[in-house]
Amino acid sequence: MADPHCDVLLVGDSLGNVLYGFDTTLPVTLDMMIMHGRAVVIASRRALVVVDMPFASYEASKEQAFASAARVMQETGCGAVKLEGGVHFAETIAFLVARGIPVMGHVGLTPQSIHTIGSFRSQGKAEAAALGSSNQPGPIETDAIAVAEAGAFSMVIEAVVEPLARHISERVAVPTIGIGASWACDGQVLVLEDMLGMTERTARFVRRFADLGSEADAAIGAFADAVRKGAFPAREHLYGLQEPSLSPKTVV
């Protein structure tokens, strides 16, 4: 569905929120990412498929990160992995890239760190306010520079105030992909279920391009009503037709 239109298909650990109902992405496992990543790769024809490295699959050491990323690449057939973090994970990114694993970075709001950052709020207000008054880059810009210099081929900038996201996009030498960041980013990403209107709660940066949640609810209600009234299945839906029973039905 998305493959003909999108240049990159990111299999994000946000699947834990939109598919499994988790409050955070932390319960998502490597096996879950591999299962979903493999399904997306099978269905894709042209887009680059990137699979998220979930929480606790790469933080312990460079060697752990390589073992996890190698599994993802081998078992899904994806073209790259994505991991969250900046300066502290630059060495890990370089380690993976040197061993043939393309890495997409992720700076700004990093959902896997929710319990240390405290809330899903926008990042970089003070840093943006200091732009032009200091020759030293702030923490988010420093993270972005470190990720780019470590060899990441691109990076997601999430929920970073627009002036800072624009500044970073102009500063780093790799493509930036914004989500709640800036139109100056080289690309944009949204969670598919958010974009299609299939989730009840969304962040400020989400634009609903459809309302499939309401349409699905109406369709399921119409199906249930038709079954209970004996209007479905009709003659054209049956084989070896016998007289239909009009008694109340159970909806499955």
**DSSP line for the chain:** --TTT-SEEEE-TTHHHHTT--SSSTT--HHHHHHHHHHHHHH-SSSEEEEEPPTTSSSS-HHHHHHHHHHHHHHH--SEEE--BSGGGHHHHHHHHHTT--EEEEEES-GGGHHHH-SS--B-HHHHHTTTT-SS--HHHHHHHHHHHHT-SEEEEESB-HHHHHHHHHHSSS-EEEESS-TTSSEE---HHHHTT--S---TT---S--HHHHHHHHHHHHHHHHHTT-SS-GGG-SS--PPP-S-----
Domain boundary among 195, 229, 244: 195
Band (pLDDT 50/70/90 cuts) for residue 9 is: very high
So what's the pLDDT on residue 245?
61
Mean pLDDT in residue range 28-39: 99
- Residue 82 lies inside a defined structural domain of this protein: yes
Residues 187-216 pLDDT 10s: 999 999 999 999 998 899 999 999 999 999
Average pLDDT over residues 16-20: 97
Q: How many domains does the chain have?
A: 2
**Confidence band of 244 (pLDDT split at 50, 70, 90):** low
Establish whether 13 is an annotated binding residue: yes
Do 191 and 226 reside in the same domain of the chain? Answer: no
Selected catalytic residue, list 149, 158, 215, 243: 158
Predicted confidence at residue 132, as pLDDT, reads: 87
| pLDDT tens digits, one per residue of 115-141 | 999 999 999 999 999 998 888 999 999
Q: Has 3 been labeled as part of a binding site?
A: no
Work out the pLDDT band at 246, boundaries 50, 70, 90.
low
Considering the domain architecture, whether residues 144 and 233 belong to the same structural domain is answered as no
Segments forming the whole domain that contains residue 102: 8-195
110 in a domain, yes or no? yes
Is residue 215 part of an annotated ligand binding site? no
Q: Do residue 171 and residue 249 come from a single domain? A: no
- Annotated active-site residue 200? The verdict is no
Kindly state whether residue 208 falls inside one of the protein's structural domains. no
Is residue 72 one of the residues assigned to a domain? yes
In a domain, 202, yes or no: no
Query: Annotated binding residue at 229?
Result: no
Per-residue model confidence (pLDDT) at position 207 = 96
**Per-residue confidence (pLDDT) for residue 28, from 0 to 100:** 99
Q: Both 177 and 79 in a single domain? A: yes
Tell me the pTM: 0.94
